[in-house]
Structure formats: structure tokens, C-alpha cells
Structure 1
Amino acid sequence: MSKETNKQPASVFQMEGIPPMGKVIPLGMQHVVAAIVGVITPAIIICNTCNITGSDRTLMIQVSLILTALATLLQLFPIFGRLGSGLPVVMGVSFAYVPTLTAIGGEFGLATILGAELVGGVVAILFGIFVKPIRKFFPPLVTGTVIFTIGLSLYPTAVKYMAGGAGSAEFGSMKNWLVAIVTLAVVFALNNFGKGILKLGSLLWGMIVGYILAVVLNMVDFSGIAAAPMVQIAVPFHFPIEFNISACVSMAIMYIVNSVQTIGDLSSTTLGGLDRLPTDKELSGGIVGQGFMSILGSIFGGLPTASYSQNVGIVTVNKVVNKAVFAFASLVLLVAGFLPKFAGILTTIPQCVIGGATISVFATITMTGIRMITSQTFTMRNSTVVGLAVALGVGVTTVGSSALAGFPGWVTTVFGSSSVVISTIVAIALNLILPADPPEDVEKVAVAFETDDVMERLSDDDPTNDPTDAEFQR
């Protein structure tokens, strides 16, 4: 009896063991569908920023796929007990770095991005090693402010793409906007009214519909696909690496911020799927693994990695934590990464399609920041931290480099190129400098919000209700 029991396949709701492939494949493909747009789009955006075309463009998408697969496998199966969290989490190339990457790439080029990424990976490893004492500097108020700023800073990128891409001969044309709006409409409809795989893969399905429409409107060039080989293996240092101190500082700050976000994603994964908080070892290993993969990515021409919140969301909903499911998803991405023709197809996606799909992603990032901010009692102190950090970050970068024209060039690169950097520094500084709210002030604000909520509910129930009735008094 015990032998038969031992031969039974594992459950998808436990981390170890191998469940039936009939469950592993569809559940794994869910994660592929949820992640694929986030994997390839940052590479496409950076290629456009740095004017990378042809086979190098295809190669960067290949490396993004491979890097995401390896980063996820490292999280599932840690090396030496320190590289990786050992948790069911998808990690790969991330949108969160895009504002800083485009700023560095626009001024210095891809080589400087890769150099700054290498340094940022080292910083992430150090953060992971000392995560326990450092973590106190990044409460939800600070982290939420930073994530909110990241979302805001990505909006112009999305709108430029919806219009056809800055510098495009048909920038702002009705044709570009038609495709972008149709793509956005599909994503919006499936997100709000779809179910199952339609809702889960709304970004992918929206891009497919937008791509088909773009093909019908003769906006897609397939000429580069035929020239791509069937199989290609990325080699180290195909792209040069250069170091610029100011770019490295900017990226180091971003890695610290995203390490904090990784803590949040790992915590959500364990709470949602395992009903517990992650251990210090799991948090440390997850961040150290993230830094290691970023160093590896810089050597092969990949972009910075971070945990994928959309895949964390899947875990919290379906409670599936079996490592075999995530390993299968990783293998699918890995195989796709060695096929240049597949990557070549992805390079033909028009910018208006990417813009129409990703603007909803950027909106979600912004709202995630708002949720984190409002999870704290919104006192005058907290509103000052958020308001000033966002105002200075967005304000300086909106004006442009001329706002810092009287400063040395490195100041402009570090503080004037990305609103996220300024907002991060200001939020951390204000949170440390401003005195904590007295408990009675926090209680007053909480009571005020509760009173407003009661009044609103009373008003909704019956416009003639008097807010002095028994419920209001309570």
C-alpha cells in the first residue's frame, strides 16, 4: 500500500514532486502567456532607444527569453543555498528599469547600459546579503512612492509608441492610433470582462489582434525573418561594456528599489500560495539570485531582471506552487530563446501595437504604488513625503536637462534623466528626517476616514438620511 502511495503523482498545490503532465502543461503555459509581453518589450524599447537593428535586435530578444528562463530556474533550484530563493516565482527582464535604461541609453548607448547593469547586479547582491538591516529604510510608504513614480514616468513612453514611435516617418498618423486603440480596447475588454485564459493573457491576445490589424494595413515588414538562422546561441561580450560613474549610480539606486519590490513579490507568493511569510534566507537568496542574473545578463547583452508581479498574482489566485509547473514554463521560454526566427517575428511587432498593450501595464504599476501608499494612514507627514518626492522627481525630469544646466554633467545624468532616482532619494530622506506621527494623530486621521465612509454610505442608502443618526454616532 505504501509503495502505491509513493508512486502517486504529486499535487500542484505542493512545491516538490512532479504532478501529471496534463496539469503541468496548461498551468505552466499560463505563466508563459502572462510573462511573455513583459519579457520581450523592454528589449524592443531599448533597441529603439539605442538604434539597434537587424540581427543584434533579434539577439537581444533571444537573450531576454533565455535570461528569464534561467533566472526563474535559479529561483526554483538555488545554487549553493545562496543563489535563489527556492520559491515558485517567475523572474526576468523587467519594465521597472525602463525609464532609467532609456535615459542612459539615449545619452550614452547600450554599452553604458550593460556596464551600469553589471554594477547594479553587484549592488543587488550586497543588498541581498545585508537585507535584514537595510530593509527598514524602505517601508511601504517609500516603496509605494517609488513604484508610483515608475508608473508615471512610463506613460510618455507608451504614448509615443501608440503614436508610432518617436522619429517614425508616420508618427502621430491616424493609422498608428487606430491600431493602438484597437489593441488597447481588446486588452481592456478581456481584463474587465474576460475569464480564464482570456483574462490572464489579455496583453498577449490584444497584441495578436493589433498585430493582425497592422498586417492588414501593410505596417509589418517580414523581410528580416528569412535571413535569421534556425538556431543561434548567444556568446558573451557580443555587445561591448562601458562604465560611466553617473550611469552606474543611477542604476545602483534602481537595483535597490527593485530589490525591495522583490521582497514584496516573494512575500506575496508565500502568503498567497504557502500561507506563511518568507524566511530571511529565502529573501536574501532571491535578491542575490536576481543580482547574479543581472551580472550574467550584462555579459550576454541582456537587460536587468526582477520578479514578475503578474505571475505572483496567478499564484495568489490559483494557489499552484509546484516547482515542476514553473520549470516547464522556464523550459518553454528557454527553447524559444534559442530560435532566432521566433525572436525575428517578435521584432516585427509595430511600435503602435506595443504602446497600445503596455499603457495598461504602466497604469497597473502606477496603481500598485497608490495602493501601497494608501495602505498607510495618510497623515500630513505621509502626504508630505509622497507629494514632495513625486513633485521633485517628475518636475525636474519634465523640464529636462536644462533645469540642471548649471551643474556638472554627472549631476544631470544621475538626477535629471530619471524621475525615479530623485523620487527615491527624496522619499527615503524625508521618511528619515520627518518625525513620526504621534499615535493620537494617526488615530484622528483614521477616524476621519471612517466617518467619511459612514457618511458616504448613509448618503448612498438614502439621500434624506441625517448624519446625526445612530449609525453616525457609533
Structure 2
Amino acid sequence: MADVSTPEEDALFTPRGHVSPVTAIPLALQHVLAAFAAIVTPAIIVASVCGFSAAEEARIIQAALVLSAVDTLLQQFPLFGRIGSGLPIVMGASFTFVPAFQAIGVEMGFEAVLGAQLVGGLLVVVFGLAFRRLRFLFPPVVMGTVIFVIGLSLCPVAVKSMAGGQGSAGFGDLSNWIVAIATFVVTFAVGNYARGTLKLGGILLGILSGFVIAALMGMVDLSGVGTAAWFALPTILPYKIVFDPAACAMIGVVSIVNVVQVMGELSAVSSAGLDREATDAELSGGMVATGAVGAVAALFGTIPTVTYGQNVGIIAENKVVNRVVFTIAALVLLAGGLLPKFAALLTSIPQPVIGGATIGVFATIGMNGVVMFAREGLSGRDCTLMGLAVAFGVGIEQSVGALAGAGFPAWVNTVFGTSSIAVATVVAVILNLVLPREEKASE
């Protein structure tokens, strides 16, 4: 934890302490910068697959930003005390749905995607409300394993960004790595050697430094800022909603996988930022809010939300959990959705800058998973559970097409073949139920 010398600085490390906007804004901005590209990217991918026009693409991105802000606010200020976790977290558009959305969008059209998404969101609400009865399936050893796999699966995302963003024309160029490493060095140095509130803003300073270096190297394109509109409201029901049974079944499975990730990262942020396990009420409320926003997202023609691992990692590094910081972050995301020029400015940050600033964050997430399941000591049973869950999860994800052969329905590969988190969760839950229990090791 950073050295603090004033009551306000100390309040940053408590959820309800009094913090002025001047102190909170820089800390909120680094959360926004870490999440922004990831929020707009799933929307861009789905828009491309479905053949959207430029106006339709802008609309789905705009709605994704607005609903990310809404879900983030719900997590800080639970509605009716039941819809929202009350935990410090940033929500954003979910990549988990992208493969399924691509498959359904190509075969059945975007209208079927929205119908299935509405059903999936309501299914998640039911799952969240019934969570107390399902809690026995997710003890610390299972949740710690899931969190570890989340961190592990995010590391390639950071490396691909450092190399320029997979699919980009200059992917892997030396210039990308120069910018990424420079960003990482600034982030690492400030986070480990600075003092006071300056230390807490290491990621923001890293991104700003990387942006300047990238601009000097001619890697920043601001042309989109000039052509973007100043203000726009999201459109409700921009498309007809169609309910296809096959699509609803596929998205229903993906929705449960998505909410397991939410549960894992809420547990991670509670463990890393608050030094305690998340309560059943917090996990249930967080999942209910995610499901409700996912259903509403269908009405606005955009992507469901999920917790963001990179932001969990920021909390794990700087321990700032005050809800003023996350409320401001949500308002900035809302501004991005309502002010397209502002959104265009944020999306101009090059991928190597984002990758260099977040790779350390992802590593921290994985280690928090280790801390969670090792807190009470590891038995041989726990080691077996974790090892097999990680082996199956990472192994299947890295073996492209391993679940796409003859005899497998297409949805199996869509849900499990591309997600180490989904596979590891299923394996960990099953092993926790079937492995004989034994005494924990004393050390």
C-alpha cells in the first residue's frame, strides 16, 4: 500500500471515505483508459461481421459505453439493495459473447442475437437470485483457480496489444515494442518507486507517457476526432428482436459462463482491495445487475457487460477502492457514449500503449488467485483440482479446433473451445464435488 500522510489520501483505501474530485479524477481516468479500448472493440467486431454501416457501428459503440457506465454505477450504488454488488469494479462490453454473436449473426441475423441476449440476461438474473443455494459449488479453491486462469488468459491480450494489436498492418513491428516497453517502464517505475498519490497513478502516467512517445513516432491518428459528432443519444429498439430457440440456448450457456467470470472477478477485487472474501449478497447483487443490464443492452442493440480484469488488476496494485473514483470513471464512460468526439479521442490511444500499461496488471490478477486458494494452505486435493483445471482450460484454448471436430455441436466449440475460463470453471466445480476431502496442509 502507498505511503499516506493526509486523511483524504487514507480515505482512498476505504469504500465510503470522503475524497475530493481533484484527488479522485486522475485515479478514475487510469481505469477509463485501461478499459476504453476493450469496451469498443467487441462492438466493432460484431458490427463488422453483421455488415453494419458506419452509422450503425457508431450506434452500437455508443450504447456499449453508456451501458458500461450504467452497470458500473449500479455496482457502486446497488438499486433496492439487491441489484449491484456495492464493490469497487468497472464494467464493460464482454468479449465472451463475441464468438457466439458472430456465429448467430452470420446464420440468423443480428435480430436473433438480440433476442437470445435478452433471454440470456434474464437467465443470469435468475442465477444471481438463486446464488445462495449454489454457493457450495464455488469454495475458495474453485474461485481462486478461476481467478488465476482469468489472469493467465489475459496476458496474451496484453502481449498482442504491445505488438500493435493482432490483425493490424504493423503487428510485431519494432516500433510497437519500443512504445510498449517505454510505457511499461514508466508504469512500473512510478508504481514501485514513487510515493503518495503519485504512486497510485502509475498506469495513468504510463499511458500519457506512452501516448506522447507514440505521437512523436507518428503512431497517433486524430482524424476521427474531427469527423465525430459532438453529442448523440443512444437509440432504443433500433432493431427488431427475434427469439430463435437454438440461438437462445447457445447464448444462455455463454451468459452463465460470462457471469461466472463476473463472480470470479468480484471475488478477486474483494480479496485484493478489501482483504476479505466477497459476501453472498455482494456476489448475488453483482450478477443480478449484470444480467439486468445485459437484457437492457438487447433493447439498445449492443453488447452485454462483464467485469474487467484489467481494472481488477489496477485495484490489486494500488488498493484504491473508494467509490468516488469508480463513480467518476462511470461518468467519464457515460460522457464517451454521449459525446462521440470524446470517445474518438480516447480510441486514438495506440494499442502498444494500452498493452504496455496493463501487462503487469494482468499478472497481478493471476497471483491474487493463487493467494486466495493458498490462504489456508494447499492440500494435495487442492493442488490436483487446480492443476487439472488449469491444464484443461489453457490446453483446450491453446489447441484451436480441439472441440470443433466431427460429433461436436458447433456451440460446444463456441462456448468452451475459445475460453479457458469456461473450461477451467467446469473442471474445478466437478473436481470439487467428486474428489475425496482431506485435511489441509499445516503450512
TM-score in same-fold range (> 0.5):
yes
> Whole-Å Cα distance in 1 between the matches of residues 398 and 279 of structure 2?
41
Q: 1:93 maps to what in 2?
A: 92
Match of 1:309 among 283, 307, 312: 312
Q: Which amino acid aligns with 2:256?
A: A
Does the aligned pair in 2 maintain the 1:120–1:291 contact within 8 Å?
A: yes
Q: 1:389, 1:424 within 8 Å by CA — same for their partners in 2?
A: yes
Q: CA separation of 1:260/1:43 partners in 2, compared to 1, >3 Å: closer, same or farther?
A: closer
Aligned to 1:456: none
* 8 Å CA contact retained: 1:119, 1:252: no
Equivalent residue for 2:5? none
Note if 1:297 corresponds to 2:297. yes
CA contact (8 A) 1:115 1:244 kept: yes
Task: Determine the C-alpha separation between the residues in 2 that align with 1:167 and 1:241.
Answer: 32
CA distance in structure 2 between the partners assigned to 1:121 and 1:76 by the alignment: 20
Residue 228 (structure 2) aligns with: 228
Counterpart-to-counterpart distance in 2, 1:267 and 1:396: 28
| Contact 1:114/1:303, CA 8 A, preserved across alignment | no
Counterpart of 1:467 in structure 2 is none
What does 1:451-466 correspond to in 2, within 5 Å?
none
Moved more, 379-388 or 198-207: 198-207
Q: In 2, Cα distance between the equivalents of 1:376 and 1:351?
A: 39
Q: 1:338 maps to which residue? A: 338
* Structure 2 counterpart of 1:428: 429
Say whether the 8 Å CA contact 2:141–2:372 is kept in structure 1: yes
Go from structure 1 to structure 2 and tell me whether the alpha carbon gap of 1:329 and 1:223 turns closer, same or farther (over 3 Å shift). closer
Query: Could you tell me whether the CA contact under 8 Å between 1:162 and 1:355 is conserved in 2?
Result: yes
- Cα distance in 2, alignment partners of residues 117 and 364 from structure 1: 32
User: Structure 1 residues 88, 134: CA separation in 2 closer, same or farther (over 3 Å shift)?
Assistant: closer
Larger mean CA deviation between 259-268 and 37-46 belongs to 259-268
- Given the superposition, is the C-alpha separation of residues 119 and 192 from structure 1 closer, same or farther in structure 2, using an over 3 Å criterion? farther
- For residues 44 and 184 of structure 1, do their structure 2 counterparts lie closer, same or farther at Cα, with a shift above 3 Å needed? farther
Matched-pair contact (CA < 8 Å) for 1:126–1:288: yes
2:266 maps to a residue whose letter is T
1:172-251 matched pairs, under 5 angstroms: 172-238=172-238, 243=247, 245-251=249-255
1:47–1:180 distance in 2 versus 1, CA, 3 Å? farther
Conserved 8 A contact 1:183-1:353: yes
- Secondary structure of 1:93 counterpart: strand
Matches of 2:325 and 2:173 in 1, distance apart? 43
Equivalent residue runs for 1:58-457 within 5 Å: 59=59, 62-85=62-85, 87=86, 89-93=88-92, 97-98=94-95, 100-104=96-100, 111=110, 118-238=118-238, 243=247, 245-263=249-267, 265=269, 281=281, 283-300=283-300, 301-306=302-307, 309=312, 320=322, 327-328=327-328, 330-402=330-402, 404-406=404-406, 407-437=408-438, 439=439, 442=440, 445-446=441-442, 449=443
Q: What is the identity, as a one-letter code, of the residue corresponding to 2:92?
A: V
Q: CA deviation at 1:382?
A: 0.9
Post-superposition offset of 1:267:
7.4
- Which consecutive residues of structure 2, in runs of 5 or more, have no partner in the other structure? 1-9
TM-superposition CA deviations, 1:402-444 (whole Å, max 9, x none): 454122322222221211111110000001000111x3xx2xx
**Alignment: residue pair count:** 417
1:8 corresponds to? none
Tell me, in whole angstroms, the C-alpha distance in 1 between the residues paired with 2:166 and 2:278: 43
Q: 1:32 maps to what in 2?
A: 28
The answer to whether the 8 Å contact 2:262/2:287 transfers is no
Pair 1:205–1:318, CA change in 2 (3 A)? closer
Which of structures 1 and 2 has the bigger CA Rg? 1
| Structure 1 gap ranges (5+) | 1-10, 450-474
Equivalent pair of 1:30/1:200 in contact (CA under 8 Å): no
Aligned-partner Cα distance in 2 for 1:247–1:277: 30
- In 2, the alpha carbon distance for the partners of 1:426 and 1:210 equals 40
Contact 1:54 1:224 in 2 (8 A): no
Q: CA deviation at 1:397?
A: 1.8
Counterpart secondary structure, 2:91: strand
Measure, in 2, the Cα distance between the counterparts of 1:155 and 1:48: 22
CA distance in 1, matches of 2:37, 2:224: 18
Give the deviation of 1:303 after TM superposition.
4.0
CA distance in structure 2 between the aligned counterparts of 1:116 and 1:203, rounded to whole angstroms: 37
Write out per-residue CA displacement over residues 87-144 of structure 1, whole angstroms, 9 at most, x where no aligned residue.
36344217xx54x345446655695876665444323322321221211111111111
In structure 2, distance between residues paired with 1:244 and 1:372: 35
The 1:259/1:331 distance shift into structure 2, 3 A limit, reads same
1:2-17 → structure 2 map (5 Å cutoff) = none
- TM-aligned CA distance change 1:349 to 1:332, over 3 Å: closer
The letter of the residue matching 2:25 is M
In 2: Cα distance, 1:303 partner to 1:167 partner? 24
Contact preservation (8 Å) 2:42, 2:303: no
Q: 1:399 and 1:29 mapped to 2: Cα distance?
A: 43
TM-score, scaled relative to structure 2 = 0.80
Pairwise CA distance, 1:234: 1.4
Deviation string for 1:310-330 (max 9, x for gaps)? 57659x956856xx6755554
Alpha-carbon separation, structure 1, partners of 2:371 and 2:113: 31
